[in-house]
Amino acid sequence: MEKNKVSAVIITYNNADTLEETLATLKWCDEIVVVDSGSCDQTKEICLQHGCRFSTHPFDGYGPQKQYATSLARNNWILSIDSDEVMAEALQQEIQTIFSEKTIPCEGFEIIISLHFMGKLFRYGRESKLSHTRLYNRNYGGFNDNKLHERIILQGEVKQLKNIIIHHSYKDLHHYFEKFNKFTSLAVEDAIRNKKKANKLQILVKFPAGFLIFYIWQRNFLNGFPGFVWSVISAYYKFVKYLKLYEALNIRNK
Protein backbone atom coordinates (compact mmCIF):
# COMPACT_ATOMS: atom_id res chain seq x y z
CA MET A 1 0.00 0.00 0.00
CA GLU A 2 1.40 3.39 -1.01
CA LYS A 3 1.84 5.83 1.84
CA ASN A 4 -0.15 9.05 1.98
CA LYS A 5 2.64 11.61 1.81
CA VAL A 6 2.73 14.90 3.71
CA SER A 7 4.67 18.07 2.91
CA ALA A 8 5.38 20.39 5.85
CA VAL A 9 5.37 24.02 4.69
CA ILE A 10 6.93 26.88 6.69
CA ILE A 11 7.57 30.56 5.99
CA THR A 12 10.50 32.18 7.81
CA TYR A 13 12.20 35.46 8.57
CA ASN A 14 15.03 35.54 11.12
CA ASN A 15 13.67 32.57 13.07
CA ALA A 16 16.93 30.90 14.08
CA ASP A 17 16.00 31.11 17.79
CA THR A 18 12.91 28.89 17.44
CA LEU A 19 13.40 26.96 14.21
CA GLU A 20 15.51 24.07 15.53
CA GLU A 21 12.78 22.88 17.88
CA THR A 22 10.10 23.28 15.21
CA LEU A 23 11.99 21.27 12.60
CA ALA A 24 12.84 18.54 15.09
CA THR A 25 9.12 17.72 15.36
CA LEU A 26 8.70 17.40 11.58
CA LYS A 27 11.10 14.52 10.89
CA TRP A 28 8.18 12.20 10.14
CA CYS A 29 7.06 14.38 7.19
CA ASP A 30 8.02 13.33 3.66
CA GLU A 31 9.49 16.76 2.92
CA ILE A 32 9.86 20.16 4.56
CA VAL A 33 9.45 23.20 2.31
CA VAL A 34 10.74 26.52 3.67
CA VAL A 35 10.17 29.90 2.00
CA ASP A 36 12.21 32.70 3.52
CA SER A 37 11.73 36.46 3.04
CA GLY A 38 15.33 37.63 3.52
CA SER A 39 16.66 36.36 6.84
CA CYS A 40 20.06 37.64 7.95
CA ASP A 41 20.55 35.20 10.84
CA GLN A 42 21.23 31.43 10.74
CA THR A 43 17.76 30.50 9.46
CA LYS A 44 18.97 29.18 6.10
CA GLU A 45 21.83 27.16 7.59
CA ILE A 46 19.50 25.52 10.12
CA CYS A 47 17.01 24.61 7.41
CA LEU A 48 19.67 23.05 5.20
CA GLN A 49 21.06 21.07 8.15
CA HIS A 50 17.59 19.55 8.56
CA GLY A 51 17.31 18.66 4.88
CA CYS A 52 14.65 21.25 4.05
CA ARG A 53 13.94 22.48 0.53
CA PHE A 54 14.83 26.14 1.00
CA SER A 55 13.93 29.08 -1.26
CA THR A 56 13.40 32.83 -0.94
CA HIS A 57 10.47 35.02 -1.94
CA PRO A 58 9.54 38.66 -1.15
CA PHE A 59 7.01 38.97 1.66
CA ASP A 60 3.63 40.46 0.73
CA GLY A 61 1.52 39.32 3.66
CA TYR A 62 1.02 35.99 5.42
CA GLY A 63 -1.74 34.62 3.23
CA PRO A 64 0.01 35.19 -0.13
CA GLN A 65 3.37 34.02 1.25
CA LYS A 66 1.96 30.78 2.63
CA GLN A 67 0.05 30.10 -0.56
CA TYR A 68 3.24 30.59 -2.57
CA ALA A 69 5.14 28.24 -0.27
CA THR A 70 2.40 25.63 -0.66
CA SER A 71 2.73 25.83 -4.45
CA LEU A 72 6.31 24.53 -4.13
CA ALA A 73 5.32 21.36 -2.27
CA ARG A 74 5.55 18.00 -4.05
CA ASN A 75 2.64 16.37 -2.20
CA ASN A 76 -1.04 17.24 -2.04
CA TRP A 77 -1.34 16.85 1.72
CA ILE A 78 0.05 19.99 3.34
CA LEU A 79 0.95 20.59 6.98
CA SER A 80 1.18 24.35 7.47
CA ILE A 81 3.18 25.17 10.59
CA ASP A 82 4.81 28.37 11.80
CA SER A 83 8.50 28.62 12.62
CA ASP A 84 7.76 29.23 16.31
CA GLU A 85 5.41 26.28 16.75
CA VAL A 86 6.22 22.84 18.14
CA MET A 87 4.10 19.76 17.50
CA ALA A 88 3.41 17.71 20.62
CA GLU A 89 4.74 14.15 20.28
CA ALA A 90 1.21 12.81 20.74
CA LEU A 91 0.06 14.94 17.79
CA GLN A 92 2.83 13.58 15.57
CA GLN A 93 1.80 10.03 16.43
CA GLU A 94 -1.90 10.81 15.93
CA ILE A 95 -1.30 12.14 12.40
CA GLN A 96 1.01 9.28 11.44
CA THR A 97 -1.63 6.77 12.55
CA ILE A 98 -4.30 8.44 10.40
CA PHE A 99 -2.01 8.66 7.38
CA SER A 100 -0.95 5.03 7.65
CA GLU A 101 -4.45 4.07 6.52
CA LYS A 102 -5.28 3.62 2.86
CA THR A 103 -8.03 6.25 2.88
CA ILE A 104 -8.01 9.62 4.65
CA PRO A 105 -11.51 10.28 6.09
CA CYS A 106 -11.74 13.97 5.16
CA GLU A 107 -10.13 16.82 3.21
CA GLY A 108 -8.60 18.63 6.17
CA PHE A 109 -7.87 18.57 9.89
CA GLU A 110 -8.08 21.27 12.54
CA ILE A 111 -5.38 21.37 15.21
CA ILE A 112 -5.54 23.07 18.61
CA ILE A 113 -2.87 25.78 19.05
CA SER A 114 -1.91 26.47 22.70
CA LEU A 115 0.05 29.61 23.62
CA HIS A 116 3.30 29.45 25.59
CA PHE A 117 3.91 32.93 27.02
CA MET A 118 6.24 34.28 29.73
CA GLY A 119 7.38 30.75 30.54
CA LYS A 120 3.85 29.33 30.92
CA LEU A 121 1.76 27.06 28.72
CA PHE A 122 -1.74 28.51 28.88
CA ARG A 123 -4.27 25.94 30.10
CA TYR A 124 -7.25 28.31 30.17
CA GLY A 125 -8.72 30.99 27.95
CA ARG A 126 -9.04 31.39 24.23
CA GLU A 127 -5.28 31.17 23.65
CA SER A 128 -5.18 27.66 25.16
CA LYS A 129 -7.53 26.14 22.61
CA LEU A 130 -7.44 28.07 19.34
CA SER A 131 -8.30 25.59 16.61
CA HIS A 132 -7.20 26.13 13.00
CA THR A 133 -7.12 24.06 9.83
CA ARG A 134 -3.43 23.24 9.47
CA LEU A 135 -3.36 19.85 7.73
CA TYR A 136 -5.23 19.72 4.44
CA ASN A 137 -5.44 18.41 0.89
CA ARG A 138 -4.59 21.34 -1.38
CA ASN A 139 -6.76 19.92 -4.15
CA TYR A 140 -9.71 21.18 -2.10
CA GLY A 141 -8.57 24.68 -1.18
CA GLY A 142 -5.82 26.83 0.27
CA PHE A 143 -4.95 30.11 2.00
CA ASN A 144 -6.90 33.30 1.46
CA ASP A 145 -5.17 36.60 0.60
CA ASN A 146 -5.29 38.18 4.07
CA LYS A 147 -2.03 39.89 4.96
CA LEU A 148 -2.69 39.03 8.63
CA HIS A 149 -4.95 36.43 10.26
CA GLU A 150 -4.77 34.34 7.12
CA ARG A 151 -6.75 31.12 7.03
CA ILE A 152 -7.23 28.02 4.93
CA ILE A 153 -10.53 27.79 3.08
CA LEU A 154 -11.54 24.27 2.05
CA GLN A 155 -14.34 22.78 -0.01
CA GLY A 156 -14.77 19.55 1.90
CA GLU A 157 -15.03 17.96 5.33
CA VAL A 158 -12.70 19.07 8.13
CA LYS A 159 -12.17 16.93 11.25
CA GLN A 160 -10.69 17.90 14.63
CA LEU A 161 -7.47 16.29 15.86
CA LYS A 162 -7.14 15.59 19.60
CA ASN A 163 -3.60 16.77 20.34
CA ILE A 164 -1.93 20.16 20.25
CA ILE A 165 0.68 22.44 18.73
CA ILE A 166 2.54 24.57 21.29
CA HIS A 167 2.98 28.15 20.10
CA HIS A 168 6.15 29.92 21.29
CA SER A 169 5.05 33.12 19.64
CA TYR A 170 7.17 35.58 21.63
CA LYS A 171 10.69 35.16 23.01
CA ASP A 172 10.09 38.00 25.47
CA LEU A 173 8.14 41.24 25.77
CA HIS A 174 10.62 43.10 23.58
CA HIS A 175 9.89 40.59 20.82
CA TYR A 176 6.15 40.94 21.43
CA PHE A 177 6.24 44.68 20.84
CA GLU A 178 8.42 44.29 17.76
CA LYS A 179 5.67 42.11 16.29
CA PHE A 180 2.98 44.36 17.74
CA ASN A 181 3.72 47.31 15.45
CA LYS A 182 4.01 45.13 12.35
CA PHE A 183 0.84 43.17 13.07
CA THR A 184 -1.36 46.16 13.90
CA SER A 185 -0.30 47.84 10.64
CA LEU A 186 -0.99 44.70 8.59
CA ALA A 187 -4.37 44.37 10.30
CA VAL A 188 -5.23 47.92 9.23
CA GLU A 189 -4.37 47.10 5.60
CA ASP A 190 -6.78 44.16 5.71
CA ALA A 191 -9.45 46.29 7.43
CA ILE A 192 -9.23 48.99 4.76
CA ARG A 193 -9.40 46.39 2.00
CA ASN A 194 -12.53 44.97 3.64
CA LYS A 195 -14.05 48.48 3.97
CA LYS A 196 -14.13 48.47 7.77
CA LYS A 197 -14.59 51.70 9.74
CA ALA A 198 -13.38 53.07 13.08
CA ASN A 199 -14.84 55.87 15.17
CA LYS A 200 -13.78 57.65 18.35
CA LEU A 201 -16.25 55.77 20.54
CA GLN A 202 -14.83 52.41 19.39
CA ILE A 203 -11.34 53.61 20.20
CA LEU A 204 -12.35 54.81 23.68
CA VAL A 205 -13.98 51.52 24.72
CA LYS A 206 -11.57 49.06 23.06
CA PHE A 207 -9.01 48.96 25.86
CA PRO A 208 -11.21 48.68 28.99
CA ALA A 209 -13.75 46.41 27.30
CA GLY A 210 -10.99 44.33 25.73
CA PHE A 211 -9.23 43.81 29.05
CA LEU A 212 -12.42 42.61 30.75
CA ILE A 213 -13.11 40.21 27.89
CA PHE A 214 -9.59 38.76 27.88
CA TYR A 215 -9.08 38.61 31.64
CA ILE A 216 -12.56 37.75 32.99
CA TRP A 217 -14.75 36.41 30.20
CA GLN A 218 -11.99 34.35 28.57
CA ARG A 219 -10.68 33.29 32.02
CA ASN A 220 -7.08 34.36 31.57
CA PHE A 221 -7.05 35.14 35.31
CA LEU A 222 -6.65 31.37 35.73
CA ASN A 223 -3.31 31.57 33.86
CA GLY A 224 -1.75 33.54 36.71
CA PHE A 225 0.39 36.63 36.21
CA PRO A 226 1.22 35.76 32.54
CA GLY A 227 -2.56 35.67 31.95
CA PHE A 228 -2.92 39.16 33.41
CA VAL A 229 -0.08 40.53 31.27
CA TRP A 230 -1.51 38.85 28.18
CA SER A 231 -4.92 40.42 28.84
CA VAL A 232 -3.45 43.91 29.21
CA ILE A 233 -1.33 43.84 26.07
CA SER A 234 -4.02 42.09 24.00
CA ALA A 235 -6.52 44.80 24.92
CA TYR A 236 -3.92 47.44 24.06
CA TYR A 237 -3.38 45.69 20.69
CA LYS A 238 -7.07 46.17 19.85
CA PHE A 239 -6.94 49.81 20.95
CA VAL A 240 -3.91 50.58 18.76
CA LYS A 241 -5.31 48.67 15.77
CA TYR A 242 -8.48 50.75 15.75
CA LEU A 243 -6.54 53.95 16.41
CA LYS A 244 -4.30 53.23 13.40
CA LEU A 245 -7.38 52.46 11.28
CA TYR A 246 -9.03 55.72 12.35
CA GLU A 247 -5.85 57.63 11.52
CA ALA A 248 -5.48 55.95 8.11
CA LEU A 249 -9.08 56.62 7.12
CA ASN A 250 -8.95 60.27 8.20
CA ILE A 251 -5.72 60.90 6.28
CA ARG A 252 -7.07 59.12 3.22
CA ASN A 253 -10.32 61.13 3.24
CA LYS A 254 -8.64 64.55 3.49
pLDDT tens by residue, 77-110: 999 999 999 999 999 999 999 999 989 999 999 9
CA 1 to each of CA 83, 97, 103, 104, 137: distance values in angstroms, whole numbers, following the listed order: 32, 14, 11, 13, 19
**Start-to-end Cα distance in the chain:** 65
pTM as predicted: 0.86
How does residue 11 score in pLDDT terms, banded at 50, 70 and 90?
very high
> Strand, helix or coil at 140?
helix
State pLDDT tens for residues 153-189.
999 999 999 999 999 988 889 989 988 999 999 999 9
Contacts 24+ apart (CB under 8 A), 247-251: 248/188, 248/192, 249/192, 249/197, 249/198
Which structural domains are found in the chain, ordered by start? 6-167 (3.90.550.10), 173-253 (no CATH)
